[in-house]
Amino acid sequence: MSDTTTINKVSNGTAPVPSAPTSRPKLTILYGSQTGTAHDVAERLARDAKRRHFPVALSAMDDYDRSLLPTAQIAIFVCSTTGQGEEPDNMKQFWRFLLRKAHSPNVLSELEYTVFALGDSSYEKFNFPGKKLFKRLQQLGARPLFPKGEADDQHYLGVDGTLDPWLNGLWQVLMQRFPLPAHLGQIPDDELLPPKIRLVPVPDVANDDKQTSRSLVVDPTSLLPGSVLGHLVRNERMTHPSHFQDVRHLTIQLPPSTTYSPGDVASLMPANDPALVQSLLDLLAWSDQADTPITLHATDPDFALPPTLSASSSSSSPTTLRTLLTYHVHFATDEMQREKLVEFDTAAGLDDLLAYAHRPKRHCVEIIQDFFSIQNVPAAYVLDLFPAMVPRQYSIASYSDPNTQSHPSLDLCVAMVQFNTVLAAPRIGVCSRWLASLPACSLPNAPVPVAVRLARGTFTLPPLPATPIICIGPGTGIAPMVSLVQARIAAHASASTGAAPEAPLNHVFFGCRSRHSDHLFADMWARLEAQGHVVVYNAYSRDQEAKVYVQHVMLQQSVQVFDLIVNRGAWVYLSGNSNRMPIDVKDALTTIVQTGLKCARSEAVAYVDKMKKERRFQEETWA
C-alpha cells in the first residue's frame, strides 16, 4: 500500500458524531495558557462538551475574534497565572481589550459565563488573572452561569482536585438547562471521538521523491508567529567543566534594525530529538508515511489550527507527520493496560501517575514501550493526542544599542536541564537537548537559523537615570540584570562625558555555588566594577562551611542597602528561582527597612509592599 493511500485511509478516523440539536447553544471555550496546563484543561472541556453534543468553539483568548464575544451566549474561560500574579502571554491582548474604558457597562449583557483559574497558593497573588477576569466580565454586564473554579497546585490531587468536582457541577447545570432529546444519548468516555483534522496528501508529489520531501522543511519563523530569523554565533559553556550544571552563553545575530528594550524576553521554539521522533514513528507504525507531504484540514468548522501550525500546513507550504510529532499518546487494546491508563487519567490515580510518569520524567517513547499493546493509532489523531510545542522564554542578557543596529544581536544565559531519576537514562529537557546540539558559526556561514520572538518583560527602568538600582539575581537570574545595567551605563554615557558617576548607581547582588565553578559573567562584572559603573556583592554558597545566599549578603550590607532604598529612592529588581529565594529576599529587605527606620515589623512590611505597588520593587521569578 502506498504512503498516499495509507494517509487517506487513516485520515478519516471514526464515524462522525451525530449532529447536535440545533436548539443547543454553542459553548465558546477561551483559554490563557503559559506552559500548556490551562490549554489542556480547555481541551478537556471541549471534548466533554462534544460528548454531550454541544457545538464548541475553542481558542486562545488572543486568537479569538473579540467582536463575537457579545453574541457568544455561553463562554467558559480557563486562565493560568504567570510570574507574580500576571496573565499569560496569549491572554494579554484580550485582557487589555476588556479593560477599555469605552465599553458600556452592558456591552456583554447577552453573555453567560464562568471562569476556571489555575494557580499556586504559595504565591501572594494566587489566581489573580482568573479573579480579575471574572469580576471584569460581570462589570461589563455578563451574567455568571456557574461559580468560578480555582485550581491550586498545592492541592494534594493537583489541578484535578478542584477541576473534577467543578466540571461535574458545571455539566449538571448545563445539561439541566439544555437536556438532550430522548433519541440522543451522551457519547461514552470510552468511545473515540472523530479527529480534529484530515491529513490530505499533496498531489503531484511522488512518494519516493525524497528530495521534494526534504525541500518542504518548514521555515522556523512560521512555527513561532511574530518571530524573526536569527543565526546562532555563540554557544559556549559558562560553568566549569567539572560543575554539575551546564550553563550556556548564547549569542544570536538578528536581522538589521531589530530592536528590544532592557528587561525584554526572547522566546525560542525548540525541536524534539530526531532519534526519539523516529522511535515514536516506528512504535506507532507511521514510519512509511512520516515524510509524505500533507496538508491539514479541520473536520470541524469551529476548530482552528494552532498558530504554530496554520502557516506551515497551508496548501502552499505542506508539512509531514515527522514535523508534527511532539509528545506522548495513550491508545491501548490490552484490557489490563487499558484499565491502568484510564486509572492514570483520574484524580484517584494521580499518585500512581506521578510515580510512574512525572517523577521519573518518562517520555512518550518509554510509555509506549511499556504499554506494548498501544497500536493502530490513526495518524489523523496526531493533533488530538500531541500537544503543540510551547516556546521557551528567556530573559535577554544584553542591551540593544540603537547606534549599532546594522548588526544587532542578543545574548541569553540558559541553564541546561539535565538530571537523573530512577530510570537508567538521564533526563534532558527538550529545549536543552536542542540548544546543546546547535553549532555556533560566525556569519555568513552560520548553518542553523533560530526563530526568535521578542516580547516585553516585566522589568522597567526608573524614569530618571540618576536613580540608583539594586539588582538581585542568583544563578541565571542574573541575565536580565546584565541587560538593565548595560542600558543604564549607555544612558549615562549618552547624557554625559561617558565617565562613571562619582557614586555608582548600579548595585548587583549575585549568588552561585562557587567562585570557581559557576560565577556567571564574572569577567564582565569585574571590568564594569573597575570602571566605576557598578558595585557587585557576591554570595558563594558552597565556598565556606556555612552556606551564604544573596539575602545574607544583603543583610551584611544593610547600611548601604537602607541608604539606597530609603534615602536615595533606589529601585529594586529580583530575578531567579521562585522556590524559597523570593520570600527570603523580601524578608531581608523588610528587616533592613525595620532596622534602619527603627519601626515595628508591620510598618516595614507596609513599606516594602508600597515599593511593590509603586513599581520600585519588581520581581521576575520562575519555577
* Higher pLDDT, residue 134 or 407: 134
Q: Which three cell numbers stand for residue 102?
A: 469605552
Helix or strand (DSSP H, E) at 585: helix 581-597
The pairing of beta strand 409-415 with beta strand 392-395: unpaired
- pLDDT of residue 574 exceeding 90, the answer is yes
pLDDT at 321: 81
Torsion of CA 187, 190, 193, 198, to 10 degrees: -170
Lowest mean pLDDT among 59-68, 220-229, 338-347, 366-375: 338-347
* Higher pLDDT, residue 355 or 28: 28
Percentage with pLDDT > 90 across the chain: 46
Q: What's the number of CA atoms in the CB half-sphere (13 Å) around residue 129?
A: 31
Mean pLDDT across the chain, nearest whole number? Answer: 81
Q: Does 475 carry a binding-site annotation?
A: no
Work out the average pLDDT over 493-520.
Answer: 82
Q: Does 577 carry a binding-site annotation?
A: no
CATH of domain 469-621: 3.40.50.80
Q: Return phi, psi of residue 287, to 5°.
A: -60, -40
Confidence of residue 339 (pLDDT cuts 50, 70, 90): very low
Q: Does 483 carry a binding-site annotation?
A: no
User: CA-CA distance, 132 to 226, in Å (whole number)?
Assistant: 28
Q: Does 122 carry a binding-site annotation?
A: yes
Q: Does 253 carry a binding-site annotation?
A: no
- pLDDT of residue 335 exceeding 70, the answer is no
Q: Does 607 carry a binding-site annotation?
A: no
Closest CA to 229 of 182, 191, 269, 200: 269
Q: Does 124 carry a binding-site annotation?
A: yes
Q: Does 125 carry a binding-site annotation?
A: yes
pLDDT at 318: 75
What CA–CA distances, in Å, run from 529 to 496, 525, 537? 19, 6, 11
533 alpha carbon, distance to own chain's centre:
34
Q: Which three cell numbers stand for residue 252?
A: 544570536
Work out the average pLDDT over 108-132.
Answer: 90
pLDDT at 219: 56
Q: Does 549 carry a binding-site annotation?
A: yes
- pLDDT of residue 13 exceeding 50, the answer is no
pLDDT at 336: 39
User: CA-CA distance, 183 to 178, in Å (whole number)?
Assistant: 15
Q: Does 279 carry a binding-site annotation?
A: no
Q: Where in the chain is the domain with CATH 3.40.50.360?
A: 27-177
Q: Does 547 carry a binding-site annotation?
A: yes
Work out the average pLDDT over 451-468.
Answer: 90
Q: Does 622 carry a binding-site annotation?
A: yes
User: CA-CA distance, 479 to 93, in Å (whole number)?
Assistant: 27
Q: Which three cell numbers stand for residue 411?
A: 545574548
Residues 6+ positions from 25 with CB-CB distance below 8 Å: 54, 55, 73, 74, 178
* Higher pLDDT, residue 454 or 10: 454
Q: Does 621 carry a binding-site annotation?
A: no
Confidence of residue 14 (pLDDT cuts 50, 70, 90): very low
Q: Does 64 carry a binding-site annotation?
A: no
Q: Does 542 carry a binding-site annotation?
A: yes
pLDDT at 446: 52
Q: Does 476 carry a binding-site annotation?
A: yes
Q: Does 423 carry a binding-site annotation?
A: no
Strand order in the sheet with 228-237: 392-395, 265-268, 449-455, 228-237, 247-253, 409-415
What CA–CA distances, in Å, run from 275 to 251, 280, 433? 27, 9, 12
> Strands, E, within 372-466: which ranges?
392-395, 409-415, 418-419, 427-428, 449-455
- pLDDT of residue 257 exceeding 60, the answer is yes
Work out the average pLDDT over 226-238.
Answer: 88
Q: Does 584 carry a binding-site annotation?
A: yes
User: CA-CA distance, 190 to 120, in Å (whole number)?
Assistant: 32
Work out the average pLDDT over 225-252.
Answer: 90
User: CA-CA distance, 56 to 23, in Å (whole number)?
Assistant: 14
Q: Where in the chain is the domain with CATH 3.40.50.80?
A: 469-621
Q: Which three cell numbers stand for residue 156?
A: 494534594
Domain 271-388: CATH superfamily is: NADPH-cytochrome p450 Reductase; Chain A, domain 3 (1.20.990.10)
- pLDDT of residue 338 exceeding 50, the answer is no
Confidence of residue 531 (pLDDT cuts 50, 70, 90): very high
Q: Does 537 carry a binding-site annotation?
A: no
Closest CA to 620 of 409, 490, 455: 455
- pLDDT of residue 427 exceeding 50, the answer is yes
- pLDDT of residue 29 exceeding 90, the answer is yes
Q: Does 119 carry a binding-site annotation?
A: yes
Helix or strand (DSSP H, E) at 48: helix 37-51
Confidence of residue 302 (pLDDT cuts 50, 70, 90): confident
Lowest mean pLDDT among 275-284, 343-352, 553-562: 343-352
Work out the average pLDDT over 87-107.
Answer: 92
pLDDT at 181: 87
- pLDDT of residue 9 exceeding 80, the answer is no
pLDDT at 483: 96
Closest CA to 510 of 493, 522, 492: 522
Q: Does 606 carry a binding-site annotation?
A: no
Q: Does 550 carry a binding-site annotation?
A: yes
Confidence of residue 346 (pLDDT cuts 50, 70, 90): low
Q: Does 33 carry a binding-site annotation?
A: yes
The 10s digit of each residue's pLDDT in 467-503 is 999 999 999 999 999 999 999 998 877 666 555 566 7
- pLDDT of residue 175 exceeding 50, the answer is yes
The 10s digit of each residue's pLDDT in 35-69 is 788 998 999 999 999 999 999 999 999 989 999 99
Confidence of residue 113 (pLDDT cuts 50, 70, 90): very high
pLDDT at 270: 79
- pLDDT of residue 387 exceeding 70, the answer is no
Q: Does 126 carry a binding-site annotation?
A: yes
- pLDDT of residue 260 exceeding 50, the answer is yes
- pLDDT of residue 609 exceeding 50, the answer is yes
Q: For 239-281, give the secondary structure using H, E and C.
A: CCCCCCCCEEEEEEECCCCCCCCCCCEEEECCCCCHHHHHHHH
- pLDDT of residue 332 exceeding 70, the answer is no
- pLDDT of residue 315 exceeding 60, the answer is no
Q: Does 180 carry a binding-site annotation?
A: no
pLDDT at 435: 81
Q: Where in the chain is the domain with CATH 1.20.990.10?
A: 271-388
Q: Does 263 carry a binding-site annotation?
A: no
Helix or strand (DSSP H, E) at 572: strand 571-577
Work out the average pLDDT over 219-234.
Answer: 77
Return the number of other C-beta atoms located less than 10 Å from residue 275's C-beta: 9
Q: Which fold has domain 27-177?
A: Rossmann fold (3.40.50)
- pLDDT of residue 359 exceeding 70, the answer is no
Q: Does 532 carry a binding-site annotation?
A: no
* Higher pLDDT, residue 90 or 483: 483
CA-CA-CA-CA torsion sign (452, 456, 459, 461):
positive
Q: Does 432 carry a binding-site annotation?
A: yes
What CA–CA distances, in Å, run from 39 to 116, 251, 264, 389, 601? 12, 32, 25, 12, 42
